[in-house]
Amino acid sequence: MQTHINKIHEEKKDAQINSNIKQKRNTEGFYFKDNRPNNIAQKKLFRTQKTPIQMVKKKSLRARVREKLKKEGYESLTAREKRFAPPSVIETGAGEGRFSKSFRKKFGKNYVATDIANEEGPNGFLSFSKKIGVQTKFGVNANEISEKFHKGTIDRIVGANPFGVKGVGGASYGLSKENPGGSGKQRYLPDNRFLKSAKPLLRPGGSVELYGRSNMLRDAAVGNIPSTGKKGRRTKEEVQQVLKAKEKYEGSNANPYLTIAPDELHDLAKSTGYKVRVKRAKQPRNVLKGGNPDTIDGDEERAEKGLKPFNTRFSFIPEEDGYESDTDDPRIIYSDGEASDWEESSDEEI
């Protein structure tokens, strides 16, 4: 009997200790301090507050996913874990997502396709990306991409055919931006916004890759041909070399947002802290059909007015601390040779 009474006293004591109503004793007796929430807002907060144990569980799940991703790769994750996995590859300005299939095949499935549009809308932004199961993210301005992802977590930032709104200065991303009112070489000016914003996101060894129609390889090859004739003109032999270079590197109907002179590209890379490799690139074979035929063979009448299949790949690699370019380690390397696959060419230099 006594044991039973002692047990009841112990249970009451435990209940008092764990209660929200705290009992204290003073010289005049006992008084009670009620710590329970006293209004609706406080009650909601009280009910939804997570205990330290719950918070630890959530953190441990994210930490576990990151560690598993690092050790075993994306394919080892369960469907639930993939929801917590940060992307390692970002596609910028994906539009409908016609290149997402090719990029994901090259760079891996831990991949997100983004666009500046806020929703799919009637134009079907990111619709192709969704159909093939690619993770998507709306409302991502490529020129402010560092605000949307964690710094130092990305292996690759890739984009095909940087796009802009003609007639609106700055409404674009890429290597150049339109200069309304400008003419000739001043119509488009170098644009550092995208490269500058992308750099903080990259892990060590990461890079920014831009694919598109460009005259850069042709311009670089022509620029390497000297002018040793009278009054700084080229000799007949040098003129023939120029013609051969232009024949080798077809240069028509280039993407205006990749239109930049070799010396401007050098200055742009230096100001943003990159080393650059420029290669030939072939159009992906499995580009999904639809939308503006800028880079799709088929609708020849409209395609002639837009961009033709891309031919160039720009790779931007963050420079090392204290890097200074020289002849042995130039800031920009132009690679010659035919593209061996859609994304790259041989490494023979021009």
pLDDT at 11: 63
Residue 302 predicted with pLDDT over 50: no
pLDDT tier for residue 5 given thresholds of 50, 70 and 90: low
pLDDT at 201: 94
pLDDT tens figures, 157-192: 999 889 888 778 788 999 999 998 888 888 899 999
Residue 342 predicted with pLDDT over 90: no
Tokens at 313, concatenated:
């790949």
Q: What is the rounded distance in angstroms from the CA atom of residue 78 to the CA atom of residue 272?
A: 39
pLDDT at 51: 57
What b/e sequence results for 219-258 when a residue is b if at least 16 CB atoms lie within 10 Å of its CB, and e otherwise?
Answer: bbbbeebeeeeeeeeeeeeeeebeeebeeebebeebbbbb
Residue 293 predicted with pLDDT over 50: no
Mean pLDDT of 22-27: 49
Local structure of 2: helix, strand or coil? helix
Mean pLDDT of 206-215: 91
pTM: 0.73
pLDDT at 3: 60
pLDDT at 318: 96
Distances (CA, A) of 231 to 228, 237, 239: 8, 16, 15
Work out whether the CA dihedral 189, 191, 192, 193 comes out positive or negative: positive
pLDDT tens figures, 245-258: 888 887 667 888 99
Q: What is the 8-class DSSP label of residue 172?
A: B
- Report the mean per-residue pLDDT for the chain: 78
Q: How many residues does the chain have?
A: 350
Which range (54-63, 74-83, 306-315) has the least confidence? 54-63
* H helix intervals, 233-307: 236-248, 262-272, 300-303
pLDDT tens figures, 65-97: 778 877 777 678 787 777 677 788 999 999 888
pLDDT tens figures, 102-143: 888 888 778 899 999 999 888 788 998 888 888 899 999 999
pLDDT: which is higher, 306 or 271:
271
* H helix intervals, the chain: 2-18, 40-48, 52-72, 79-82, 100-107, 127-131, 193-198, 216-223, 236-248, 262-272, 300-303
